[in-house]
Amino acid sequence: MKLDQSFHYKYLADEFARRSNVNPHYSLRSFARDLEVTPSWLSDFLSNKKGMAPQTAERISVLLGMTLTESRLFILSSKAFHSRSEKDRKAATLELASYKQTKSYKMRPKDFSATGTWYHQAILELTEVEGFSHHEYELMERLRLPQATIRRAVQDLIAAELLKIEDGKMKTCFPETESTMDISSIAIRNFHEQVLNKGIKALHEQTVTHREYGSTTFAFDDSKIDEAKKALRKFQKQFAEEFYTKSANKNSVYQFSVQFFRIDRKKGMS
């Protein structure tokens, strides 16, 4: 195997290229700062002169906000190439080969604009629910939406290549999808607004045995906002790993949402 063909190498190289294209002033030193590594180490790694310890790969996967699948592939790839133990390298290589049968998809802005409603995401998840009939009438009943809306949503998902129909059954094309983080988008804002409104409705309609709401208000150092966001994203991944990925009996669709925002005004603002 060649390092420059590995997942963890290509992911970092592609991410650096993407950031450089967005910002021509973004340097290797800037990338090293964001990855919390030294510029010399990053330069040597991208030049195939140094390896990446699994612990470093795990930390970088969190810093870059990778999806669950991306994170697992990234860490496995580093182990397959750089673990000191030959046994660990072989085990990681075998597991890495099995993961190549699955894909994680980061939705393009145009895809999210067409399929970025709460019910598009709910339809994708319902295809995994035990006993799902794969019929639009069940989607209408469970999501309480008219037939025309359901039919159009299914067509949107198929057009975006997020959903396919095989042998009369709806199947997701990717085990997980996510939108781009830290980029302003009307479509993404609209999605979060819909989720918040659904949460308000659930607060009044669902019993406490089927929901959980909590809130904490505290004084905060806003210079640590990036650190806080990374911690929240790490928690979301761990939560999904425990209750979604490892769940064998999926009989419902839940919305997990986290809000962290400023409620006071900056001093001196009118």
Global pTM value? 0.61
Q: Are residues 33 and 130 in the same domain?
A: no
Of 178, 1, 173, the C-alpha closest to 96 is 1
Q: Are residues 208 and 130 in the same domain?
A: yes
Q: Would the CA dihedral through 168, 249, 111, 103 be positive or negative?
A: negative
| pLDDT tens figures, 115-148 | 889 999 999 999 989 999 999 999 999 999 999 9
Number of domains in the chain: 2
- Residue ending a domain, among 102, 128, 158, is 102
- Residue ending a domain, among 69, 102, 135, is 102
**Which of the pair, 105 or 129, is modelled with greater confidence?**
129
Q: Are residues 130 and 256 in the same domain?
A: yes
| pLDDT tens figures, 152-200 | 999 999 988 788 998 889 988 776 666 555 444 677 788 889 999 999 9
What pLDDT is attached to residue 184?
47
Residue whose tokens read 């669950």: 68
- Domain range for 180 is 103-270
- Residue ending a domain, among 58, 84, 102, is 102
**Rounded to whole angstroms, how far apart are CA atoms 96 and 76?**
6
**Rounded to whole angstroms, how far apart are CA atoms 94 and 76?**
10
